[in-house]
């Protein structure tokens, strides 16, 4: 079972910033990687995704475009930079991996097979 582990969540005021990190085995991070978020009673929402082999290929949900940035470094760490946070960004954030060739960075939950445990982000207004 592939283990992904998120970190970096916390509580911030609206307008603030956080950086989330996700680490996992190198083989897993050489694929489509994504960040998702979930609030109680709602389905998991795709936030951002990246082709780990071609980091310039990214996709964002409309709700976070211009505020969040997904990236990956060469130490098998995936990042999500969260800027200008809003109260509606409050959620548990998960990183996910989709094995195989990353044809198109996806924001569809069912495309991903490996998940981390999540990290809480709380934004107060």
Q: What digits encode the pLDDT tens for the residues 51-61?
A: 988 888 999 99
Beta bridge partners of 78: 22, 72
Torsion angle of C-alpha atoms 9, 12, 14, 19, degrees rounded to 10 = -40
Q: What is the pLDDT of residue 27?
A: 66
Mean pLDDT of 13-26: 93
pLDDT digits (tens, 9 = 90+) for 71-122: 998 877 899 999 999 999 999 999 999 888 888 999 999 999 999 999 999 9
Helix, strand, coil shares, percent, the chain, to 5: 5, 50, 45
Mean pLDDT of 4-24: 96
Confidence of residue 30 (pLDDT cuts 50, 70, 90): low
When comparing pLDDT for 6 and 27, which is higher?
6
């Amino acid at each position: 079972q592939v283990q992904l582990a998120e970190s970096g969540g916390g509580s911030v005021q609206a307008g603030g910033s956080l950086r989330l990190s996700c680490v996992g085995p190198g083989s897993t991070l050489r694929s489509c990687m994504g960040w998702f978020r979930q609030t109680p009673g709602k389905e998991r929402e795709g936030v951002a995704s990246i082709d780990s082999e071609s980091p310039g290929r990214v996709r964002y949900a409309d709700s976070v475009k211009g505020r969040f940035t997904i990236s990956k470094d060469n130490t098998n760490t995936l990042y999500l930079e969260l800027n200008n946070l809003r109260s509606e960004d409050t959620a548990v954030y998960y990183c996910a991996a989709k094995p195989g060739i990353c044809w198109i960075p996806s924001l569809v939950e069912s495309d991903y097979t490996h998940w981390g445990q999540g990290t809480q982000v709380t934004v107060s207004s």
